[in-house]
């Protein structure tokens, strides 16, 4: 790493099989491992938080309840009364992404939300879910949404392709937003950290100037903590909005 | 609700299957600088399959076990708070009723006391009036008695006046004439003179 030009900021996104040959055969890299870690973290938080089941909650229980109520209110407020049925899904989605984003901020860890394959799979899952729910709830009237109400019929040849395109681009924008944010954040970390390594090669002067990139990385960590929760929130709220359209009669 | 829950579950299952298939059958894409876009790497597509499985398990554990537990705690609490509020509200109602009763009782007692006082005052008033009447009556009777006495005294005096007049007349006539007049005659004259003057 210290070899100056050999620093590769994209190296951190490489996947390596876990458990050698077994991991290779099962296509099990560190990415699913961190997914399991994130899931276990959230489940442990909820389990140990809610274990007292006290009427007057302690700190951990209050935190778990706040998480529950935050997502529940978001689902019900955005989707409507039907939102209660989707609440577990939204909760799963939000905390899967949030835990993935935050666990990736730990040094030497891996951020599975920085892989477009993962984020696109989730976005595509949301997309498929909205299509299935739309068809189930609205039937064939679902396709009428591609022609906006009150628009002139002469504009239909123009509007319908645009509407279809915008509908189909939802999973793409949803997945790329999260992926790009995570990649950008971690690349920035790596770049500024590599500055520190490079400056270390210049002796005492370099050591003094290295304070700059370290300070920037500290500030970046604060920013990434914000971005991590914000992107999880954006993903969840957009899912809610898509589902609201799906259950709307 | 049930239909939607079933739909969600079915949709999720379908998605997991679809994504897994997609992951397994993903065509080998071009390799670029970004490890994320190296779709030829089985590990890149493999994490989609594993991710789908992990996500589905996460969803099942949350929706079956964890979230209902949280919901139960929240529900119990809200019910308990509602119950306690209900108890407090009924207690307040009781207290309000008791206060109202107390005030009513005080008002009644005050009215009763007022009425009693009024009655006592009236009785006193009446008694005083009666006493006054009695005193007045007694005074009146005493006055009447006194007037009677005065009248009697006056009559007696007046009757004595004739005697005196007769005596005086007899004495005068005797002194003037030196002859004692007939007492009968004198009395008669005095009588007629007094009747004439109508003194009495």
Q: What is the mean pLDDT of residues B86-94?
A: 96
Residue of A31, A68, A121, A122 for testing the chain B interface, max B β-carbons within 10 Å: A121
Name residues whose C-beta falls within 8 Å of residue B187's C-beta, 6 or more positions apart in sequence.
B162, B166
Q: Residue B18 and residue B25: Cα distance in Å, rounded?
A: 10
Residue B5 has what pLDDT?
60
Q: Residue B23 and residue A192: Cα distance in Å, rounded?
A: 35
Q: What percent of chain B has pLDDT over 90?
A: 51
Nearest residue in B to A134, CA atom = B7
Position B6 pLDDT exceeds 70: no
**Contacts with B76 from chain A: Cβ below 8 Å:** 53, 55
Name the range with the highest mean pLDDT among A99-103, A154-158, B19-23, B35-39. A99-103
Q: Residue B149 and residue A70: Cα distance in Å, rounded?
A: 116
3-state secondary structure of A55: coil
Q: pTM score, two decimals?
A: 0.71
Helix (H) or strand (E) holding A214: helix A211-247
Locate A4 and state its tokens: 């100056």
Residue B38 has what pLDDT?
83
Closest Cα of chain B to A169: distance in Å?
18
**Which of these, B27, B15, B19, B28, lies nearest to B48 by C-alpha position?**
B19
3-state secondary structure of A58: coil
Residue A88 phi, psi (nearest 5): -60, -35
Nearest residue in A to B26, CA atom = A117
Residue A183 phi, psi (nearest 5): -65, -45
Position B25 pLDDT exceeds 80: no
Mean pLDDT by 10 residues, chain A (249 residues): 56 85 87 95 94 88 94 93 92 96 93 94 95 90 82 84 92 95 93 89 86 93 96 96 88
**Contacts with A125 from chain B: Cβ below 8 Å:** 12, 15-16, 19, 52, 55
Which ipTM was obtained for this model?
A: 0.90
Residue B18's pLDDT band (cuts 50, 70, 90): low
Closest Cα of chain A to B24: distance in Å?
10
- Of A28, A92, A114, which is closest to B50 when you measure between CB atoms? A28
Residue range B149-170, pLDDT digits in tens: 998 888 888 778 778 888 888 8
Nearest residue in B to A8, CA atom = B33
Position B55 pLDDT exceeds 90: yes
Higher-pLDDT residue of B106, B28? B106
Judge: A125–B15 Cβ closer than 8 Å, yes or no: yes
What is the sign of the dihedral through the CA atoms of A28, A34, A40 and A42? negative
Residue B7 has what pLDDT?
58
C-alpha distance from residue B102 to each of A115, B88, B92, B109, B111 (Å): 76, 21, 15, 10, 14
CA angle A86, A90, A91 (to 5 degrees): 115
Name residues whose C-beta falls within 8 Å of residue B39's C-beta, 6 or more positions apart in sequence.
A117, B26, B27, B28, B29, B45
User: How many contacts (CB atoms, under 8 Å) link A and B?
Assistant: 168
Half-sphere exposure of B76 (CA within 13 A, CB side): 12
Residue B26 has what pLDDT?
40
Position B68 pLDDT exceeds 90: yes
Higher-pLDDT residue of A6, B129? B129
Judge: B51–A31 Cβ closer than 8 Å, yes or no: yes
Nearest residue in B to A180, CA atom = B36
**Contacts with A63 from chain B: Cβ below 8 Å:** none
Closest Cα of chain B to A31: distance in Å?
6
Residue B180 has what pLDDT?
79
Q: What is the mean pLDDT of residues B128-148?
A: 92
**Contacts with B63 from chain A: Cβ below 8 Å:** 88-89, 92
């Amino acid at each position: 790493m210290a070899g100056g030009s050999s620093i590769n900021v994209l190296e951190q996104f490489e996947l390596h099989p876990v458990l050698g040959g077994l991991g290779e055969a099962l296509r099990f890299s560190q990415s699913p491992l961190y997914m399991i870690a994130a899931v276990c973290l959230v489940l442990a938080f909820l389990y140990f938080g809610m274990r007292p089941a006290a009427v007057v909650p302690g700190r951990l229980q209050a935190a778990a309840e706040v998480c529950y109520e935050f997502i529940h209110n978001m689902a019900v407020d955005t989707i409507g009364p039907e939102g209660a049925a989707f609440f577990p899904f939204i909760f799963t989605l939000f905390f899967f992404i949030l835990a993935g984003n935050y666990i990736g901020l730990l040094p030497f860890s891996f951020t599975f939300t920085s892989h477009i394959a993962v984020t696109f799979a989730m976005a595509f899952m949301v997309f498929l879910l909205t299509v299935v729910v739309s068809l189930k709830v609205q039937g064939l009237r679902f396709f009428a949404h591609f022609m906006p109400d009150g628009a002139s019929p002469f504009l239909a040849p123009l509007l319908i392709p645009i509407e279809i395109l915008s509908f189909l681009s939802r999973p793409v924008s949803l997945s790329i937003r999260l992926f790009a944010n995570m990649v950008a954040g971690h690349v920035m970390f790596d770049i500024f950290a590599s500055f520190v390594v490079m400056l270390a090669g210049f002796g005492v002067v370099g050591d003094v100037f290295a304070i700059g990139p370290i300070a920037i990385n500290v500030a970046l960590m604060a920013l990434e903590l914000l971005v991590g929760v914000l992107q999880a929130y954006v993903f969840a709220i957009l899912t809610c909005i898509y589902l609201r359209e799906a259950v709307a009669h | 609700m049930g239909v939607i829950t079933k739909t969600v579950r079915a949709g999720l299952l379908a998605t997991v299957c679809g994504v897994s298939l997609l992951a397994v059958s993903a065509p080998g894409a071009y390799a670029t600088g970004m490890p994320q876009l190296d779709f030829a790497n089985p590990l890149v597509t493999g994490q989609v399959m594993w991710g789908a499985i992990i996500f589905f398990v996460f969803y099942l554990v949350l929706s079956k076990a964890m979230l209902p537990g949280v919901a139960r705690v929240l529900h119990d609490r809200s019910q308990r708070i509602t119950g306690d509020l209900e108890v407090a509200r009924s207690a307040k109602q009781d207290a309000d009723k008791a206060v109202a009763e107390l005030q009513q009782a005080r008002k009644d007692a005050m009215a009763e006391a007022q009425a009693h006082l009024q009655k006592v005052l009236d009785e006193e008033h009446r008694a005083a009036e009666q006493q006054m009447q009695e005193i007045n009556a007694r005074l009146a009777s005493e006055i009447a008695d006194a007037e009677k006495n005065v009248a009697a005294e006056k009559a007696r005096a007046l009757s004595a006046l004739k005697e005196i007049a007769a005596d005086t007349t007899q004495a005068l006539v005797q002194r003037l004439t030196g002859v004692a007049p007939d007492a009968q005659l004198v009395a008669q004259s005095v009588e007629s003179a007094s009747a004439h003057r109508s003194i009495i």
